[in-house]
Amino acid sequence: MKSKETKKQIERLSRQIDHGQVNPLEAATLINAWLNGITRAVWNSGQQQFKVFNDITVEDYRVPIVGVDRKLMEETATLCYLQAQRNGIEKPGEVHISEQISSKHHNRPGFIDYAARVWAKYSADRGIA
């Protein structure tokens, strides 16, 4: 069941990411905690949409992206996708950043490279390997 408090937290988090108060990895970690585990992340740059889900508790939240740095939100969506994978989910959603970078099968190698770079960029800040 959706929580109004979680919705407000995610809305605040979007602004905090944009202002540099929270980095994308910290954001993915917080969202994962608030949802008791991310099961799907969906980013579609063409539709300007970012949603996170917990399919077990039947929760889904739109992450506000209007007026927020697009690159930071793409990185956050990618890290939420990776977090869903770390949570043991076989189909952790879809992240479509460009024709070359997409979690869909036809562009998977480009997405894997991009996701690895994003993970390395933020995990190094936190001393995570």
How confident is the model at residue 64, as a pLDDT? 87
pLDDT tens track, the chain, 129 positions = 578 899 999 999 999 999 999 999 999 999 999 999 999 999 988 777 899 999 988 889 999 888 889 999 999 999 999 999 999 999 999 999 988 899 987 667 889 999 999 999 998 765 554
How confident is the model at residue 67, as a pLDDT? 87
DSSP run (H or E) holding 114: helix 108-123
Q: How many CB atoms are located within 10 Å of the residue 26 CB?
A: 18
Distance of CA 13 to the CA centre of its chain: 12
Residue-wise pLDDT for 66-94, tens only, equals: 888 999 999 999 999 999 999 999 999 99
**Is the CB of residue 95 less than 8 Å from the CB of residue 78?**
yes
Which of 34-73 are b and which e, b meaning 16 or more Cβ less than 10 Å from the residue's Cβ? bbebbbbbbbebeeeebbbbbeeeebebebbbeebeeebb
Ordered by start, the domain boundaries in the chain are 4-121
How confident is the model at residue 48, as a pLDDT? 79
